[in-house]
Amino acid sequence: MGAKRTRIITFGVFIVLTLGVVLSRFYLNVQKVHWDDKRIAVETAFEKSIMTKAAKVDFFYGDEPFRIVYGEDKIGQGVIVWVSDKGVHTEMAAEGFTEAQIRDVVTKKNPGAEIERIMPGKLGQEYIWEVFYKKIDDSGTRYFYDYYKFKDGLYLDTYRLSLQ
């Protein structure tokens, strides 16, 4: 009886270890694609814009997917680069509305809104700030996307998602 129990425990440990290795390999492979996409976006920004130092990469999914690379030029000025399969667009951060300015506009327009995310993107032919936020009222929680022009913060549109 003792040898059988030892075999069952050994087999159980083997299964758990095997499962752990398989799941960790799967996770690393999935993350590798994500990390590679970020690395390629940064390399493209370096090659096709004035950016010389990258700080962060976000992913924007609209009509056209973009990798948004935030960084600096050679003299330390803030630069934002939109990288897509169709090309690269660069803006000096100082020439557009800042994320903080957009946050202020949204909170004044929508008191009580909880901002989930603010990021640059593109809507039609316009480079924009996209603001994803939620509002809670008597009927439930509703999520919204507001769009503002990148350069001057001018309001463009709101997309309202169904109640959650």
pLDDT in tens, 98-112: 999 999 999 999 888
- Burial (CB < 10 A; 0-12, 13-18, 19+), residue 67, is buried
> Which of the pair, 91 or 23, is modelled with greater confidence?
91
Full-model pTM? 0.76
Domain 2-94 annotated CATH 3.40.50.880: no
Domain coordinates in residue numbering, the chain: 2-94, 99-160
d(CA 85, CA 17): 41
Average pLDDT, the chain: 88
CATH of span 99-160: 3.10.450.40
